[in-house]
Amino acid sequence: MNYFDIIIIILVLFFIIGSALGITLILYIYYRSSSGIIIFKVDKINNRVLRITNSYSFVSTIFDSKKSNFKEFNYLSLNDFLEYFDEKSIEKFNRVFETFIPENNFETIEVNINKKYHKNFTLVEKFILLIDKTITNMRSFKVVISQNSTRDYICSLKWAKSSKKPKNFKSINFAREENFKLESQNNLVIGMLLKPEFYFKEITEIDIYEIFLLFNLNYKKTYYFNDEGMIYFIIKNPWKSKLNEVNTIVKKVVKNRFLNKLFNIATCFTYYEIKTNNDLNRIKNILKYSLYHIYNKPNEIDEYINLNETIFKNEYFLEFNHNLNKYHVINNSSDGEFDIKKSMIVKYKTQEKGNLFLLECDLKKGVLSDSWASFFKKIPYLEYKYQTIWYNYISEIQHENSLNSMVKISQEVFLDPHFTPLTNKPICLVYAENNSFLTEELREKIMHNSENNVYTALYIQDIDRTLINIINTVDKLRVLIIGQKISQRLNDWTVFYECFNIIKLLKSKRIRVVFENPLNNLDDLIVEKLNLNYAFYSLEKEQKNIP
């Protein structure tokens, strides 16, 4: 073999190595993710962690190495999992894992990677690590933690290569643009239902940027809209793989709907060229159809995502739009097409009627089918939109003592500065979706109303720190109704003791307690200790129409 042959062999080897490195770099650029969400379950009893979501390609994060056991639906010991994080982060995790988190509530912590972690990396992964120092030098992760009915901790870890907002990023709400157009023939729409508190609370630019990170969106090709209790994004000319990526994230969001600050339901679909405002209205119609159904039927999400323009010929879609428009017309009409229903509060042992009662506004029979009326009444934004109308209608029609009548009002309506309860109107029975009360804002409004002799009642579905804070700081609550979610589990001694501590606090404040749909024939000890004197039965047909 002469020198020329050796040089040729060396050049071929360099070409092969260079090609391999080039292919690796191409895969690195096109198939690695720059942001995402990892969902995992912590079984504290057995000290193990189960990853629920799949791994990201090409060691996008330190959690995704091939040799690691932290893979989808695979258990990892809790100690091995905690090795990914620095000491302060481990302390934060351990603190949360020693506490009880009420259902539909969550704890949020920021954690940092253990920079000394170098276990389980392949040669290729070490090469990628050499190129991309952000894998081990990422800034803090935000971890949102909730607890399920079996006391496992469900965790959502958001990550991004760069959490710093670009200087030229602007969250312009294009819903305010009169003549928005997008000439691209292929557009991807991602939409979310806002959590009720953000109907009136400011959504910051950082909040919007976090959604861009969650869905890995290019802010130069993405347009943001905030309208009618929804936020949505239109992405022009997305890659074919983008819909699949977004589809996966949407399903994760819906499955873990309580883990996001801004929204709890999401959807995605494609749409063609946007020429006029009529196209935006059509997009909003699809969003409402999809999001409202996913909100009411989260287990049927596959039926209502990845829609396209053929939906406009779908009979059920047309029926939905027709009935939603009809629902708006009826509620905005001055004809008063409502019935008022009355639930008496009774003495638990004797069923003798007391002097308190609950009033509810329903559509009159026949103006809209019962199924559609019930469907729309479950949507928080539609409640927010029309509850003031219902409350005022009840106030004008009912002539009984206002101090003895109550009307359920969402905290978002109650906190609206334009909503003003008066002494001659029914007492507001304030509730919050998923028991997510805004403690400070509620306290201020309740105290302000009490100075004008306007009383307030609360409806609760969980007993947690928020409730205790409200009761401790507010003396002017007239009634507290304990919802059936608690009332029907009073035989459970854990629930009993939670209630017992709250009842003692309520007695000291002279706040009347009413239980919704409690079980019949409860043990006398439970009845006595929980001061179970009053109940109301919302599931029974005791309600009657008021002319």
Can you give the pLDDT at residue 59? 55
d(CA 51, CA 44) in angstroms, rounded, equals 14
Helix, coil or strand: residue 437: coil
Is a pLDDT exceeding 50 seen at residue 370? Answer: yes
CATH architecture assigned to 27-160: 2-Layer Sandwich (3.30)
Q: Where are the alpha helices (DSSP H) in 333-379?
A: 370-377
Can you give the pLDDT at residue 29? 45
Confidence of residue 239 (pLDDT cuts 50, 70, 90): confident
d(CA 438, CA 196) in angstroms, rounded, equals 11
Q: What is the pLDDT of residues 442-473, one digit of tens each?
A: 888 998 898 888 989 999 988 877 777 778 76
In total, the chain counts a number of residues equal to: 547
d(CA 361, CA 339) in angstroms, rounded, equals 6
Determine what percent of the chain is predicted with pLDDT higher than 90: 40
d(CA 454, CA 12) in angstroms, rounded, equals 87
Considering the chain, what is the average pLDDT of its residues?
Answer: 83
d(CA 235, CA 222) in angstroms, rounded, equals 4
Determine contact, residues 424/402, Cβ cutoff 8 Å.
Answer: yes
Strand partners, 534: 347
d(CA 437, CA 167) in angstroms, rounded, equals 35
Determine contact, residues 278/315, Cβ cutoff 8 Å.
Answer: no
Can you give the pLDDT at residue 113? 83
Can you give the pLDDT at residue 541? 39
Confidence of residue 540 (pLDDT cuts 50, 70, 90): very low
Can you give the pLDDT at residue 21? 55
Can you give the pLDDT at residue 16? 67
For the chain, the domains span 27-160, 174-313, 336-545
Distance of alpha carbon 261 from its chain centroid, rounded? 7
Helix, coil or strand: residue 345: strand
Best CA proximity match to 395, nearest among 372, 426, 423? 426
d(CA 357, CA 344) in angstroms, rounded, equals 4
Instruction: For residues 245-267, give the mean pLDDT.
Output: 85
Regarding predicted confidence, which is higher, 64 or 253? 253
d(CA 116, CA 138) in angstroms, rounded, equals 13
Regarding predicted confidence, which is higher, 102 or 268? 268
> Between vectors from CA 246 to CA 245 and to CA 249, what angle results, nearest 5°?
95
Look up residue 383 and give its two tokens: 């409640």
Residues 6+ apart with CB under 8 A from 383: 377, 410, 413
Confidence of residue 73 (pLDDT cuts 50, 70, 90): confident
Look up residue 520 and give its two tokens: 């019949």
CATH no. of 336-545: 3.20.20.450
Determine what percent of the chain is predicted with pLDDT higher than 70: 82
Can you give the pLDDT at residue 81? 92
Question: Residue 289: CA atoms inside 13 Å, Cβ hemisphere, count?
Answer: 26
Determine contact, residues 54/65, Cβ cutoff 8 Å.
Answer: no
Determine contact, residues 464/441, Cβ cutoff 8 Å.
Answer: no
Per-state percent for the chain, helix, strand, coil, to nearest 5: 40, 25, 35
Full strand arrangement of the beta sheet holding 141-147: 75-77, 48-51, 35-43, 153-160, 141-147, 107-111
Q: What is the pLDDT of residues 109-128, one digit of tens each?
A: 989 888 777 666 666 666 66
Confidence of residue 543 (pLDDT cuts 50, 70, 90): very low
Of 214-218, 279-283, 407-411, least confident by mean pLDDT is: 214-218
Confidence of residue 18 (pLDDT cuts 50, 70, 90): low
Instruction: For residues 400-420, give the mean pLDDT.
Output: 87
Instruction: For residues 287-305, give the mean pLDDT.
Output: 95
CATH no. of 174-313: 3.30.70
Determine contact, residues 169/209, Cβ cutoff 8 Å.
Answer: yes
Is a pLDDT exceeding 90 seen at residue 134? Answer: no
Q: C-alpha distances in angstroms, 314 versus 137, 187, 438?
A: 50, 21, 41
Confidence of residue 56 (pLDDT cuts 50, 70, 90): low
Can you give the pLDDT at residue 475? 67
Regarding predicted confidence, which is higher, 232 or 142? 232
Can you give the pLDDT at residue 231? 95
Can you give the pLDDT at residue 544? 38
Pairing of strands 405-410, 353-363: parallel
Can you give the pLDDT at residue 443? 87
Determine contact, residues 361/340, Cβ cutoff 8 Å.
Answer: yes
Is a pLDDT exceeding 80 seen at residue 401? Answer: no
